Amino acid sequence: MRNLSLSYKLYWLPAVLREDLNLPLPLLRPWTSFSPSELNIATRKAVYRERNLSLDCPKLRSSARITWPFSGTKTPSGGSGPPTGESLKNQEPSDVSWIPSSHSNGEWYFALSKDFILRVLHLRTATLVLEERLYDPGFTPVPAPSAYSIETVDEFAVRVAVATPHPDSAQAVYSSILSAYTLELDPQRRTACIKLLSQIPLRILPKLFDIAGDYAVLVGDGEGWPTSGPVHVVEWKTGREIHLPLVRQRWVL
């Protein structure tokens, strides 16, 4: 049985699919591309985690105390500039973590603040490792961000998309800019690096959106419920809009 488990992928895949396990593997690769030994380790980790979480009293494996305003901050390389997190002393936690999210492996915490600053916190060591301003509102009052999207690429990278007001929105041509970034995460060195992938102008300022693969789904302003509106699909790399078929709805009272 052990030789089978280390030699054949089909030893693991039926059980994984049947039990609907969430394997700790990169999401953008099909499971069939991994070796039997990789599936072996991932399946054992997933079963171990699911069994622990299904207990009446799950066992806490590790913990870290996170104090405000993140005492475990990092000094910039070369000693130039203020330490990461220095600007948090006079801000409320709710404003800093205006839109929070976390990595699928539970090791990283991401927060977009009201003033469009993205912060990355390494949870296991309670260290703030990155502060990056994604939009500078200047002196013009702008609304707080309504949404941003985090997509897990693998254990060491995530893709971030943020919609910010267009600097020339007064011309009524474009209302916002959709920017896509990649965050490279290093749990050993406890560092995070951000890189701009693309920026495309939009004719709407979306109140909700999400990215999946090469596409971004945006919900514009509309009447009715606060989360309803016309739906747009664009390629976040090129800005090309995907035309959706007209969907007619009939309400029955």
pLDDT over 90 (residue 43)? no
Together in a domain, 32 and 151: no
Q: Note whether residue 147 is domain-resident.
A: yes
Mean pLDDT score, 195-215: 86
pTM here? 0.72
Top-confidence residue, 145 or 244: 145
pLDDT over 50 (residue 253)? no
Q: Note whether residue 63 is domain-resident.
A: no
Number of domains in the chain: 2
Q: Note whether residue 157 is domain-resident.
A: yes
Cβ atoms of residues 205 and 175 within 8 Å: yes
Together in a domain, 143 and 225: yes
Q: Note whether residue 253 is domain-resident.
A: no
Mean pLDDT score, 44-55: 86
Q: Note whether residue 251 is domain-resident.
A: no
Mean pLDDT score, 85-96: 82
